Chains A and B, each alone.
Chain A
Amino acid sequence: MLAEESLTSAFDAIKANLLRSILTALAIIIGTAAVIALVSIGGSAQKAIENSISDMGSQVLSVVPGQKEKNGVKSAFIPLKLGDVRALENEKNISWKIAPEMRGNKQVKYISENANLPIVGTTSDYFSIYGIEVNQGNVFTENDLINGKKVAIIGSDVAKELGTNKKDLLFKNIVIGDSSYRVIGIAEPKGSGGWDNPDERIFVPVITASERIFGRIWINMIVVKSAGEFSLPQVMIAIERILRRTHDISPGEDNDFRVYDWSEVKQLQKETTNILTTMIAGIASISLLVGGIGVMNIMLVSVTERTREIGLRKALGATQQDILIQFIVEAILLCIIGGLIGVVLGSAIYFSIASYQEWPIVMPLSAIIGSVTFSALVGLFFGIWPARRAAKLDPAVALLYE
């Protein structure tokens, strides 16, 4: 029989029992929608994290405070200090860029507007390490850094937070805490990556941050980027060697600081997301299997209901194969329609969540193709048995069926 006849008769049969067909396909619809929505959401989350990690720049190492462990007991966090930065800077055998990051939120005022913004105390190397372009004004001078001048470089969104234009703020004074700072530069936009918006940050010389704004000497992080031919592991070893000496750690003792390679974190993150996505897809495929059993059930009912039609088709010359194909096509079509509705529903759920959460949109085509194909396979698998029953019907008996 022509494929066209199988398709039209399958459409007819599905249309004839529309409500029943939709209810049958419901589990398939829900399963596919779940796969599409969850896999996309997973993709978005991964993308958001990847963005924020690539904001930090690859090839960048972060040194953060750690804990000492003695006889299985962990001490408090040992802070990193400006002295640690200086010790690293004094190393002349390795060419690298080093910048401290002393970070905290402060109330910032400009005329009558004010906002609570992150303040980062650092040096000029910070901008080159992270590839932040200061395209208006200048970066910090030696004098600013050494003497802890009251100057600030602002992210591109700071002006907006303070209710004004970027141009207006350049070389004007803003108030951080209770004293005023001169804006000497404005950074170009980096774009939001996820957790925080780097464009809302205000950068000040680290001495200024330490002495005037936060009143502390410990810093949150030291960022290091290899400037020469040194590989990340070599740089890592050098950092450990220098900081262990500075922190007076005897051989055999553990580090009281940690060195992060963000590209590793990125990889780990990717693996975690993949595992989660696989798990979600696995759970959703159970729904598709349950849907398949529903389809089989309804197809068996349909075969019984249409016994006379099957008898007639056979009397008119349909072979067993013709009938088999007709019913398998019907089961597959039912599942594919369910799958497509599921894709639309799942995408709608995903888009509404993603736009509400302002996530980057990631629509994995593989998930769409995969789940519709899987639906079709479910139809094939669960359609075979009812279709075989139909094909095997004795035409003489089937014609007399009431």
Chain B
Amino acid sequence: MNVIEVKELEKTYYVGDIEVKALRGVTFDIQKSQFSAIMGPSGSGKSTLMHIIGCLDTPSKGEYNLNGENVAKMSDDQLAKIRNKEIGFVFQKFHLLPRNTALENVMLPLKYANIGRLERSEKAKEALAQVGLSDRIDHKPSELSGGQQQRVAIARALVNSPAILFADEPTGNLDSKTGEEVMTLLHKLNNNGQTIVLITHEKDIAVQTQRTIFIRDGKIESDTIN
């Protein structure tokens, strides 16, 4: 079964009067439980692609089915709901709320899903256990190491049991050892059936996944099984 089906995706920006074609017809599918990497140099359009398949942005043209639902023409509110239920994000800079504890950070998506307090805290603790941080739930981001912060962010991405997890340069801000730990964690999650899309510009990282989609100039240049 395909979690993501993208057909002839196009995205055109206007910077003042200048037309920028960030995506020029991208087509691919991602199967359930697949661990794939989207790779490309900066300016290749990989960020735009991630924003669109992450439902943070809508395409100018083309089709996009996420978990069987056509999301290309959805309204802002519908997209917010999709992001909340179906998508988990992991960012290069963690993006944790600095004044909240690890537990509170992980509970945040559940609050937007209107889940009650008890269930919220239960699910968040479960997610933190999955990333091995059960003993750090009351720590604030400033009291955690970079690797721990990224693991909190991963727990936050997992807490709504999303159909797909997007990791945007998840090791970009970490030293190589903690980077490896984060990659190990992602592999473990994938082994448990989690579909993951990794966005990176590092070949070393990309080859650790099952499949590499290489983007250049807004088009897929290559799509290889590793």
Contact = CB atoms under 8 A, between A and B. Distances in A.
B113 A317 contact: yes
A211 B196 CA distance: 113
Given A317-B109, A322-B112, A396 B56 contact: yes
B96 to A, nearest CB: 8
A317 B99 contact: no
A243 to B, nearest CB: 81
Interface residues of B, number: 25
Secondary structure call for the A interface = helix
With most chain B CB atoms within 10 A of its CB, the pick from A308, A316, A395 is: A316
Interface in B78-97: 80-81, 83-85, 89, 91, 95, 97
B57 interface: yes
A316 B108 contact: yes
B156 interface: yes
A2 B95 contact: no
B122 interface: no
B9 to A, nearest CB: 15
B114 A316 contact: no
A322 B56 CA distance: 16
B167 to A, nearest CB: 13
Nearest to A322: B112
A320 B100 CA distance: 22
Contacts of B95: 308, 311-312, 315, 399
B112 A1 contact: yes
Interface of A: 1-2, 5, 12, 16, 308-309, 311-322, 394-396, 399
28 contacts: A12-B100, A308-B95, A311-B95, A312-B95, A314-B56, A314-B80, A314-B83, A315-B54, A315-B83, A315-B89, A316-B89, A316-B109, A316-B112, A317-B80, A317-B81, A317-B83, A317-B85, A317-B109, A317-B112, A319-B77, A319-B80, A319-B81, A320-B77, A320-B80, A322-B112, A394-B57, A395-B57, A396-B56
Given A317-B160, A318-B112, 10 more contacts: A2-B114, A308-B95, A311-B95, A315-B54, A316-B89, A317-B84, A317-B113, A319-B76, A319-B80, A320-B80
Interface of B: 51, 54, 56-57, 76-77, 80-81, 83-85, 89, 91, 95, 97, 99-100, 108-109, 111-114, 156, 160
A-B pairs, top 5 by smallest CB distance, nearest first, are: A317-B84, A317-B112, A396-B51, A396-B56, A319-B80
